[in-house]
C-alpha cells in the first residue's frame, strides 16, 4: 500500500519549533489535569453514586443603585410660549405641571425642590427648551408658582426622578385635580 504524506508548509527548523510548541502545550494540559483541586489532603473521595459538593461561591455584596439627582438654577416660561408645540408634540400649557430639560427622556416625572424654601413640586418633562446655558430646567408658570419662584424668576433647585408608583406623586396629582382624597380604613 502506498503511503501518502501531506505537507504542512513548514520545513526544517519551523517544523521542529512547531513540534516543540505542540509538545509543550500537551505537557501543560497534562499537568493541569493532574494538579490538586485545592481540597485539603486526607479527605476521602466521595462515595460512588453521590455527586461531589458544589464549589463554594462567594456572595457578591449587593450593589446599591446610584440615585441620580441634579442641583442648579431653574427658571420658568409662560405666556409667551402658551399654545406652542413642545418637543414632545403636545401644546405648551403654562398652567400645567411640566418642564423643559435638555437631556432627560420626555415623559420623565421629576420631584423639583426649591432649596431656599424647601417647597416641592412634581413635574413632567415635555420639552427641550429654550433653556439658557447656566440653567438646568425651565419650569412652566404653574410649577414655578408652586415652588415660590414666580416673582423671583430664578431659583436654586434639586431635581430627582420619581416613578409613577411614588405615593407622594399620587397625592400631588390628586391635589392638582382638586378632588378630596378618601381614605378607607378597615376597623375590626
Going from N- to C-terminal start, the domains of the chain cover 70-176
pLDDT tier for residue 79 given thresholds of 50, 70 and 90: confident
Cα 32 to Cα 18, 27, 36, distances in angstroms = 21, 9, 9
The pLDDT, as a whole number, for residue 138 is 94
The pLDDT, as a whole number, for residue 115 is 96
The pLDDT, as a whole number, for residue 88 is 85
Cα–Cα dist 32/27, whole Å: 9
The pLDDT, as a whole number, for residue 101 is 94
Summarize pLDDT for 124-137 with one digit per residue, the tens: 999 997 678 889 99
Cα–Cα dist 69/157, whole Å: 10
Cα–Cα dist 96/90, whole Å: 12
Share of the chain above pLDDT 70, in %: 57
Superfamily per CATH, domain 70-176: RlpA-like domain (2.40.40.10)
Amino acid at each position: 500500500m502506498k503511503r501518502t504524506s501531506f505537507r504542512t508548509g513548514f520545513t526544517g527548523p519551523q517544523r521542529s519549533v512547531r513540534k516543540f510548541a505542540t509538545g509543550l502545550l500537551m505537557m501543560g494540559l497534562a499537568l493541569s489535569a493532574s494538579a490538586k483541586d485545592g481540597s485539603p489532603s486526607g479527605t476521602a473521595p466521595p462515595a460512588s453514586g453521590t455527586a461531589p459538593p458544589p464549589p463554594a461561591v462567594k456572595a457578591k455584596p449587593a450593589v446599591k443603585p446610584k440615585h441620580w439627582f441634579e442641583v442648579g438654577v431653574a427658571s420658568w416660561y409662560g405666556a409667551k410660549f402658551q399654545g406652542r408645540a413642545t418637543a414632545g408634540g403636545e401644546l405648551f400649557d403654562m398652567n400645567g405641571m411640566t418642564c423643559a430639560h435638555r437631556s432627560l427622556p420626555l415623559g420623565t416625572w421629576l420631584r423639583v425642590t426649591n432649596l431656599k424654601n424647601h417647597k416641592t413640586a412634581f413635574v413632567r418633562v415635555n420639552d427641550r427648551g429654550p433653556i439658557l446655558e447656566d440653567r438646568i430646567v425651565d419650569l412652566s408658570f404653574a410649577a414655578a408658582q408652586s415652588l415660590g419662584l414666580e416673582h423671583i424668576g430664578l431659583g436654586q433647585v434639586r431635581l430627582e426622578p420619581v416613578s409613577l408608583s411614588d405615593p407622594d406623586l399620587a397625592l400631588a396629582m390628586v391635589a392638582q385635580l382638586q378632588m378630596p382624597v378618601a381614605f378607607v380604613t378597615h376597623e375590626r
